[in-house]
Copies of this chain bind each other. A is one copy, B any other.
Amino acid sequence: MGKDKVSFQLKTPKGTKDWEGKDMVIRERIFSSITDVFKRHGAVTLDTPVFELREILAGKYGEDSKLIYDLADQGGEICSLRYDLTVPFARWLAMNPSVQNIKRYHIAKVYRRDQPAMTKGRMREFYQCDFDIAGTYDAMLPDAEILRILYEVFEGLGWDGKYTIKLNHRKILDGIFSVCGVPEEKIRTISSAVDKLDKSPWAEVRREMTEEKGLDGAVADKIGEYVVRKGKGELLAALKEDAILSGNESAKKGLEDMELLFEYLEAYGVLGQISFDLSLARGLDYYTGLIYEVITEGSAPQAAEAQKATKAAKKSSGKPQGEDDDRSADPNVGVGSVAAGGRYDNLVGMFSGKAQIPCVGISFGIERIFSITKARMEAQKTAASVRLNEIDVFVMAFGGKGFTGLLKERMSIAKTLWDAGIKAELAYKVKPKLPQQFKSAEIGGVPFAVILGEDEQAQGKCKIKELGLPEGHPEKDGIVVDLANLVPEVKKRLADKTGIDGVTGGNLVPEVKKRLADKTGIDGVTGGINGL
């Protein structure tokens, strides 16, 4: 409790960490890959303050409001760190009534004063990556595009179909509860119990419904018959033929939505990843329609691990951790969910007081996606080759006795390369030793060296050497070029190395990756960051 320690604590605050090195490079690539998808669908980005007036956040997160970080009262307004990106977005929409529709994305950190579990990736400061479509449109069209975006994001990350998009609809769920005989006032709490079916067996969930929440056993059993069902079109067809269910007004509306959605998902080529799963309920109250969550098969063992841990945590904390979060697949949830969201048509009205703007959105759990991506790279042995920087050319010099170091000549060459937009560096030493310069280049994974010797220098020449060429390669020892031709000669070799005319290599930007994918016939969608 904040004891006054005299000794100096050299650490980051509990539940936070520094991002550095290869982790940072990999995370940046993931952000870049996801952002590409968002832009492909016409999204713009929005940047809101890291803290909000406390009253903006009040009453939005139920009992999890206790996890909100408050700023100290230093006079003036009372503020809190944002808990998610959805409430600030809804606040912004309400403040800007001229904006009646928008596709916006927001990648930023959010803050929850939860018990951190770093090894499981549950942090107090963590990134969310949100995409939302706000506006009044024909039914299920934005919803279908959100699911298409989910597909493109995970294909872009190279997950190659190894994930499942679980779907359900709040109106269908409410209809089910209603026709099974759940009293109106118990619908949300019974819905929360259903939400645990991905982690607990039905017997356990039934016990919670009946013993803890006082539901009639026969009603619970009826619910049990519904919520174990999952499938695709055939499940939808079966539910439509269920006269009792489709006689319920809410369920009928939900089923109509789902029917449209399935048609649209087929047109968008996403149906293969879908599981219509009646056990999916999602924690938060504000969903009003379609809800979804992405789980990945690849992370199944991790999920099982997290499942055990989550159960243990629940026992010790006495609170249901699965309900910690809003619609997001943040690290506080775990259990295999890497993205989640749904439709929330009434949230903006909580701020505007009158005008509603229907919204549907998705939140990607970046820390979890990062862990899975990194684990895959390590399994594929591609992580080792991730470079920290993007330098393409190391400018070196060498000489015999009385060697001056050719410092200004090296600087002049670096200047020429920088002027041409080429990523280059040189040793910060007046008289560097050649082996040390090679070692620096090697450690950095730099593909090319430009080497200045006193003799070549006197003739207005230098050497370009591609590093790491095999024995017997014609340019193994490098080639001598006129200094006047240095830039085109370097660009030519960089281009040859990457196969793209005139674009320098190193870590390719996604746009270039896409072009590479086009050239090789690989689908532009999956070409995202396959090189990882």
Contacts and interface: CB of A to CB of B under 8 A. Distances in A.
A388 B99 CA distance: 13
B91 A49 contact: no
A70 interface: yes
Contact of A425 (B42, B91, B502): B42
A70 B13 CA distance: 13
Nearest to A70: B72
B19 A46 contact: yes
Contacts of A13: 49, 51-53, 77, 79
A483 interface: no
A20 interface: yes
A381 interface: no
B24 A44 contact: yes
A437 to B, nearest CB: 14
A11 interface: yes
Contacts of A95: 10-11, 18
A491 B444 CA distance: 36
A93 to B, nearest CB: 11
B268 A415 contact: yes
A159 interface: no
Which one of A8, A11, A72, A269 has the greatest number of beta carbons of chain B within 10 Å?
A: A72
Given A511-B509, A524-B420, A76 B1 contact: yes
Interface stretch (A137-145, A203-211, A304-312, A367-375): A137-145
Contacts of A509: 509, 511
Interface string A119-141: 00000010000000001011001
A3 to B, nearest CB: 10
A324 interface: no
A48 B18 contact: yes
Given A40-B422, A420-B518, 13 more contacts: A10-B91, A10-B94, A18-B92, A20-B96, A40-B424, A42-B389, A42-B391, A42-B423, A42-B425, A103-B389, A268-B414, A419-B523, A502-B515
